[in-house]
Structures are given as structure tokens and as C-alpha cells.
Amino acid sequence: MKLKERLRLFIRHNRVILLFRLMLDAFYEACSQSKHLGASNMMRDEVKFAADLCIRTHAIEKGMSIGSVRMGFGQPKVLALIDDLLLYVSRFPSVSIDESMAVIANYIDFNRANGCPVEVVEARYEVLKKAYTLKEEMAAGIAICSKADTIEATKAPFDVFSQSRCSIRDFDTETIVDINDIISAVDIARKAPSACNRQSAFAHIYQGERARELFDFQGGTNGFGHDMQYAVLVTADMRRYFINERHQMYVDGGLFAMQLLLSLHYKGLATIPLTTAYKTRQTQRLKKNFDIPPHEVPVMIIGIGAYKESYKVAVSHRNSVDTYYQVHR
């Protein structure tokens, strides 16, 4: 082999050189992210501020969709949200906060209907109503679904089928989920595309107590984590990627996770996607505590349980289609 070729291969495959190339790439990425991530100068940027309000609005909405919700939950958070909504509309007068308005109104009605009036929130909400004129009425808060309708929709054409999947936080704890249905869903999800057909995604399936430990570690299932029976931690194998592909594993793993979510829905199981977006130390702990090999990256957790005959879901309003695309000519 010629010296030039040997040098080229050395540069390409040497770990120390790779480390420096990755650090440089990570540095450029950090520069861009320090400017554009929502965390930087959030309150001065309309979109970033809106993202923060959206997350906090959704936290209230999903709180109401938990099977064993504690009435009157989250009042300090709702009050803080209202204050920041007031600030937001005063700073950016043309924005819409219709969804947040609808969720707060729903929160007030929900608590009142369940014998827990939240007068302080109501009074503060009245102030917000005076400061902001609704642009559009929208459904928000919780919706009641029936298992029979959902199961029927899982056999419907794709548009109906895919619209019938929701994140579930209200589970039946009596009906046992059959692990073979999960394995069968993994089988279906293998059809997910991956870059150069690398098929790097992997499903770690945790059952019973191990699943509950994972939900406790994950931290986003308070009030319903222990009502689920299985946790699937989707990972992707870093060893199948090369330089310039630092994020490709998350794309491939994410596509697999979505396909798995739909496959589980097809099998009639109640599911919820759960984040594994942690700081590095926490990710290391996750991998250590849950037997994930060092070369795998966690992509997403899917919580799995059984549907109640009648169950609550968070409405999770979607923005209009024109906000989702642009045709470039």
C-alpha cells in the first residue's frame, strides 16, 4: 500500500484524530446552538418564549389526563404561567395564546367539576382575559375516548389509524399486556427505514418492577408510571456510523421508535413516548443502571400498558397545516 494511502487511512481511523475532529464539529455546533436554542435569550425572542409557554401549557394539559390525577394540582405553576402569558402578550402584541387560554379555562372547569374550585387561578385568569382577546376558539384540555372506538380505528385506513394514536396516561391496571404483542410490534417496526439500511436501532424491553424503575428514573411519568407494564428503551448503535454522522443514529433510532409506536398502537396497546434527553452524566447513569452497552445511545422510551374501556387523553392541539410546510420554487 502506498504511503499516501496509508496516511489517509491512518487519519481516517485514528481515535485521537477522530476525537479532535469531533471536538471541532461539536464546537461549531455549540456555537450555533448557543445562539439558536430556546435557552438563550428566551424572553426576547417570540418563538423561544412561545416554546417555553407551550411546554408549560402542555404540562397542565397532560396533568389533567393522568388517570389518578390529584385535584387542584399545579396551581403555583398555572399562576406562574398566567403571569408569563401576560408578559408575552404585552411584549409581542400580535401573538396568539389561544391554546394556553383554552387549557387554563379547561383546568378551571375540570377542577370545579370535580369539587375543587381554584379561585386564585380564576381571579388571575380574569386579568389575562382582559389583556388578551381570543382569536380562535379551540378544543383543549382532555378528551374522553373509548377503547372500542380506538381498537376499531387501528384497523382503519392510515389517515384514521394514525390520528387515533394518542399518548396515554390513564391505564387499565387489571388487563395483562402480552409480551408477544410487543415482540410482534418490534417485528413490524423492522421495516422502518435507516440510512444505508444500517438497522442500528434496538429495543430493550423492561417488564414489571424493572419497567417501574426505569419510569422512576425517566422522571416524566409521575402519577401514572406505575400503571404501565412494560417500558421499551429504543437505542441506536454508534458503531454503525462514521464522521459527519454524529446525529444520524438519532434519526434512524427516532424513525424506528415512531414505527414501533404505531406498530404497538396497531396491536391495540396503550402507549406513551418518553424522553431520554438528559445531560451526559445522567445518560451514563441510565446506561449503567439499565444494562445498556456503552456503544448504544438512548433515543426514546415507550411506556406500554392496557387501555381502559373509557380513558382520558390530553388533546395536544396541532398547529394548522400551513405552519408545517413551505413550497420552495
Ligand X SMILES: Cc1cc2nc3c(=O)[nH]c(=O)nc-3n(C[C@H](O)[C@H](O)[C@H](O)COP(=O)(O)O)c2cc1C
Residues in touch with ligand X (CB under 6 A): 58, 62, 166-167, 220, 272-275, 300, 313, 316
Of 83, 101, 85, 192, nearest to 140 by C-alpha is 101
In whole angstroms, what is the distance from residue 211 CA to residue 271 CA? 13
User: Do 211 and 230 form a contact (C-beta atoms < 8 A)?
Assistant: yes
In whole angstroms, what is the distance from residue 214 CA to residue 93 CA? 43
Minimum CB separation of residue 302 from ligand X in Å reads 9
Minimum CB separation of residue 311 from ligand X in Å reads 12
Minimum CB separation of residue 18 from ligand X in Å reads 29
Minimum CB separation of residue 72 from ligand X in Å reads 20
Minimum CB separation of residue 243 from ligand X in Å reads 26
Is the Cβ of residue 142 or residue 313 nearer to ligand X in the bound state? 313
Is the Cβ of residue 117 or residue 220 nearer to ligand X in the bound state? 220
Of 295, 283, 299, nearest to 239 by C-alpha is 295
Q: By Cβ distance, which residue is nearest to ligand X?
A: 220
Minimum CB separation of residue 24 from ligand X in Å reads 29
Is the Cβ of residue 11 or residue 151 nearer to ligand X in the bound state? 151
Is the Cβ of residue 89 or residue 232 nearer to ligand X in the bound state? 232
In whole angstroms, what is the distance from residue 222 CA to residue 169 CA? 10
- Phi and psi dihedrals of 200, rounded to 5? -85, -10
The CA–CA distances, whole Å, from 43 to 86, 99, 223, 305 equal 12, 19, 31, 39
For the stretch 113-151, what's the b/e string if a residue is b when 16 or more beta carbons lie within 10 angstroms of its beta carbon?
eeeeebeebeebbeebeeebeeeeeeebbbeebebeebe
User: Do 201 and 252 form a contact (C-beta atoms < 8 A)?
Assistant: yes
Is the Cβ of residue 41 or residue 275 nearer to ligand X in the bound state? 275
Minimum CB separation of residue 120 from ligand X in Å reads 26
Is the Cβ of residue 63 or residue 124 nearer to ligand X in the bound state? 63
Is the Cβ of residue 38 or residue 220 nearer to ligand X in the bound state? 220
In whole angstroms, what is the distance from residue 105 CA to residue 110 CA? 8
Query: Using the 8-state DSSP alphabet, how is residue 157 labeled?
Result: -
